[in-house]
Amino acid sequence: MNHFFLVLIFFLPAGLANLAPVIANKIPILNQWKTPIDFGIMLNGKRLLGDNKTWRGLVFGILVGAVTGWLTYQYISDVAVQQLSHFWIGGLLGGGALFGDSLESFFKRQLNIPSGSSWFPYDQIDYVLGAILFSLPIVRFSVLDYFSVIGFYFLAHLLTSFIGFKLKLKDKPI
């Protein structure tokens, strides 16, 4: 299997974990769980993360990442780390993706960028950067691999955001 393709597949749990909170909000039982991760805490008179970063999205996203890793990595053993369970690696990447997204939201709040507004290109790469950061203790790729992953998932984010908008899962196309 092509090395580039393996690297992209390795980060698939992060990509799907990034989509998961939007989907979790549409699931009838889950959409009732709206507790914000920041519990309403303010810094400089502004919310740390805002109402859109919820425990529901975090838990569901990590679970989606974990299940994706478990289902995917067993077929790409060239990239998977043998000492750790595929489930845990996927969950780690999913958590990294959501950490990157939350960190970007923190900066948006502090810079007075309204919640739900696009902050191009950071909204499109925050989750990939978080996943890369969280993956560093278990696997290392080349700089070219990382730039390729960022570019691929940047474009994938634009495409999935537009599709989500057309399917009425999102309010804005980007």
Reported as a single tens digit per residue, the pLDDT across 91-121 is 999 999 999 999 999 999 999 998 778 899 9
Lowest-confidence segment of 5-9, 12-16, 110-114 by average pLDDT: 5-9
- The answer as to whether 171 is a domain residue is no
**pLDDT interval class at 126 (50, 70, 90):** very high
What's the pLDDT score for residue 78? 53
Q: How many domains does the chain have?
A: 1
Average pLDDT for the chain: 89
Contact 131, 93 (CB under 8 A): yes
The range of the structural domain enclosing residue 89 comes to 3-166
What's the pLDDT score for residue 148? 93
Q: Who wins on pLDDT, 164 or 65?
A: 65
Percentage of residues in the chain with pLDDT exceeding 90?
Answer: 61
Give the mean pLDDT of 6-22: 92
What's the pLDDT score for residue 7? 87
- The answer as to whether 110 is a domain residue is yes
- The answer as to whether 148 is a domain residue is yes
- The answer as to whether 173 is a domain residue is no
What's the pLDDT score for residue 153? 92
- The answer as to whether 105 is a domain residue is yes
pLDDT at position 170 over 70? yes
- The answer as to whether 88 is a domain residue is yes
pLDDT at position 81 over 80? no
- The answer as to whether 75 is a domain residue is yes
What's the pLDDT score for residue 76? 72
Task: Label each residue of the chain as H, E or C.
Answer: CCHHHHHHHHCHHHHHHHHHHHHHCCCCCHHHCCCECCCCCEECCEECCCCCCEHHHHHHHHHHHHHHHHHHHCCCCCCCCCCCCHHHHHHHHHHHHHHHHHHHHHHHHHCCCCCCCCCCCHHHHHHHHHHHHHHCCCCCCCHHHHHHHHHHHHHHHHHHHHHHHHCCCCCCCC
Percentage of residues in the chain with pLDDT exceeding 70?
Answer: 95
Task: Give the separation between CA 150 and CA 29, rounded to whole angstroms.
Answer: 34
What are 30-77's pLDDT values in tens digits? 888 899 999 999 999 999 998 889 999 999 999 999 999 988 887 776
- The answer as to whether 64 is a domain residue is yes
Task: Give the separation between CA 153 and CA 147, rounded to whole angstroms.
Answer: 10
Cross-strand pairs, 46: 43
